[in-house]
Every structure is written in C-alpha cells, then in structure tokens.
Amino acid sequence: MDEHDWLAERFQEHRPRLRAVAMRMLGSGTEAEDAVQEAWLRLSGADADEIENLEAWLVTVVGRVALNMLRSRRTRREDSLEARLPDPVDDESGGADPEQEAVLADSVGLALLVVLETLTPAERLAYVLHDMFSVPFEEIGVILDRSPEASRQLASRARRRIRDGNSNPEGDVTTQRRVVEAFLAAARGGDFEALVAVLDPEAEVHEDSGSGLQLAATGAENVARRAQSVSRTGVDAYPAMVEGRVGFVAFLDGDLYAIGALTHRAGRIAVLEITIDPQRLAEREYTVLDFLSN
C-alpha cells in the first residue's frame, strides 16, 4: 500500500467524526461535506511524516475551514439579517456508546435549531469543539489564534447564552443599535434618568480587567452610575458589532480602551460584558458601525 492509499484509509477512519464536527459547526449537510472534503485535499498535499496526531490535525483543519465558512456566511447576511434554519443533525460519529449518541443527538439538534445559529463563529467553535468533542482549549486556541484562556471564555459565553435559551431575544439589530446609541448618548451627556430608562431593572456589568469576567455592578441605577463615572474619564464610545452582537467600543486619547458586548432583554440592555484588559482587547473582534454626532 503506497502512502496516498494509506492516508486515504486513515482519513476514512476519521471521516465520521470530522463530519460530526463540521455538521455541528455549520448546521448544513452540504457545507459539512465541503469542509470535510477540504480537509482531505489539505491532507493529501501535506507531509504525513510531520503530522504527529492525525485525528487532532484533521479536527483542527475542519475547525478552521468551518470557522472561515461561518464568518463568510455572517458577512453575506449582514445586510439582510435573515435567519437560517439548520439541517437536521444526522449523527455519523460512529464508535460511541449508542445511548450517549442518542442523548447527544437530541441536545445538539435542539441547540442547532434554537441557539447555535445565534452564536458568533468563535463562540460556536469553542463551544462545539470543547463541550461536544472534548478538544482541549490549547488546541482550540490554535484554531482561533487566541490564548487558551480566551478560548475558555468564548465557550463560557456560549454556554451562558445557550442556558438562557436565546442570546438575542430582541432579534432586531436595528432596534438593538438604537438602544445602544441611546445608552451611549445618555452616558456622554451624564443623563442618569435616560441611562436608567434603557437599562433592564436587573441589569448587570461584568468586567474583564485581566482575570476573566467579574461581576462589577448590578441593578439599573448602579450600572447607570458606573456609566456616568466612566464617561467623565473622557472616553469616546461608538456603537459596534462585537463578535456578531450590537455593542460598543471606547477609545481614550485615540487608543482602544474598552469593548462592550451587550445582551438585550425586552427592549433594554440586560448584560454588559466589558473588556478593558489590553491583551484581551487584542483578541476581541469588532466593527465600528459609525460615529455618533456630538
């Protein structure tokens, strides 16, 4: 048996698991097959002698391909904001305990239909690979080009959003953006009552200054006071898409100072996840929507 045939045989051994990963990442049988096929093309052109763990190498490749496909898909839909219903999950992972596979298939099917499509690409990859396929965060970090701790936080955020049942209950980016703009304008003007008006009564601020997200304030009035205090430091904040969600970015003396990912509930801001640690800031994805007028 020559090397090509040997590689093809080994690839087929791992194919069910690779397709399972791709299916849970992409929610589309056709796209999953495309991702798996791309993994084979890359493997056939690689130096097999340099691959220490073939399964891990293949999962990494499929993860990267699926991540790029998700990001491309999100970009194509940015204007239309159309929702997409995933294909049913037809599990072919093989080799696992039938009872465990049945439980996993049920939970994944529900997650795909209800939540996975609402996660950001990075959150989805971290959650799927770690929680469903037990891939270490060190390996997930390589795929995402982030630290293991940053990958852990992505999975944690995804877990929270799945637990809540819906990461964006409002579902309307335009509405969310208006709320964010009102929040930033009120903070800039020091308008306490206006700040409270756009905050959920049980609003929370979670801040990451280098040791992970920590609860910093609870309750609309306390959150509003915190926003007023920060605005007095002279930061300039603008609405932005933060890893798929409407949030904000803040600059101080022209340098990036903070990134805020927001969760909305009943037309108000319910959770503010604010990153201020420089290392974490470099790992977050965002796109400034535009600059608010003074």
Query: Residue 84: is its pLDDT beyond 50?
Result: no
Record the pTM. Answer: 0.51
The full set of domain ranges for the chain reads: 3-164, 173-288
- Name which residue leads in pLDDT, 7 or 198: 198
Show the CA angle centred on residue 74, arms to residues 205 and 149, nearest 5°.
Answer: 45
Predicted local distance difference test score (pLDDT) of residue 5: 85
> Of the ranges 128-132, 177-181, 249-253, 286-290, which one carries the lowest mean pLDDT score?
286-290
CATH architecture of 3-164: Up-down Bundle (1.20)
C-beta separation of 124 from 69 below 8 A: no
pLDDT single digits (tens) 150-185: 999 999 888 887 776 544 444 567 788 889 999 999
- Name which residue leads in pLDDT, 73 or 225: 225
Query: Residue 103: is its pLDDT beyond 50?
Result: no
Average pLDDT over residues 222-232: 92
- For domain 173-288, the CATH class is alpha beta
Predicted local distance difference test score (pLDDT) of residue 133: 86
